[in-house]
Amino acid sequence: MEFLSLLKENNVKSAIATSAPRENVDFVMTEASILYPFDVIIDASNVSQAKPSPEIYLKTAQSLKTDPEKCIVFEDSRTGIESALNAGMKVVALTTSMTREELNHVHHVIDDFTEINLEILTNLM
C-alpha cells in the first residue's frame, strides 16, 4: 500500500493487467483492503489472447494513453514477464515464484514492494 500511495502522491498512472476474471480482481482488492483507485483495470474479458501474448499490456498502455516503452510492469510469472517484454515494456520481476538467477533477463528484480521507489523507476526509464 505504501508503494501505491507513493505512486498516487506523485501522479504516476497505474493499472492492473490480469488474465484473471474481473470477479477475482474485485475479490482480491476487497480482501486485501486495496482502496487505491487504479487508473485502468484490464482483465481476461478485455482481451482475446492470453499471456504470453503482449495484447493485455498493449491494451493497458493504450487505455492509459501511454506509449508501451514508457511503461513499467511488475510481474511474478514467466508468461507475464514474457508478455510484458514482448510489448516492449520495462519489467520489474518479483521473486515469488522464481529465483533472482532465473530473472536475469528483466530490468530489475525485487523480493517485495518495499524494495522499490521512485528513484529506481526513474532510472529504469
Q: Per-residue pLDDT tens, the chain, 125 aa: give them.
A: 888 888 989 999 999 999 888 899 889 888 887 776 789 999 999 999 989 999 999 999 999 999 999 999 999 999 999 999 999 999 999 999 888 999 999 999 999 999 999 999 999 98
Query: C-alpha grid cell for residue 23?
Result: 470477479
Q: Check residue 94 and give its pLDDT.
A: 95
Task: Return the bridge partners of 73, or none.
Answer: 91
Provide the residue type at 52 as one letter.
Answer: P
- What is the residue range of 58's domain? 2-124
Q: Are 18 and 40 in contact (CB under 8 A)?
A: no
- Cβ of 4: how many Cβ atoms within 10 Å? 16
Q: How many domains does the chain have?
A: 1
- For residue 119, the domain's CATH number is 3.40.50.1000
Query: C-alpha grid cell for residue 56?
Result: 493485455
Q: Which helix (H) or strand (E) holds 124?
A: helix 118-124
Q: Output the pTM of the full model.
A: 0.89
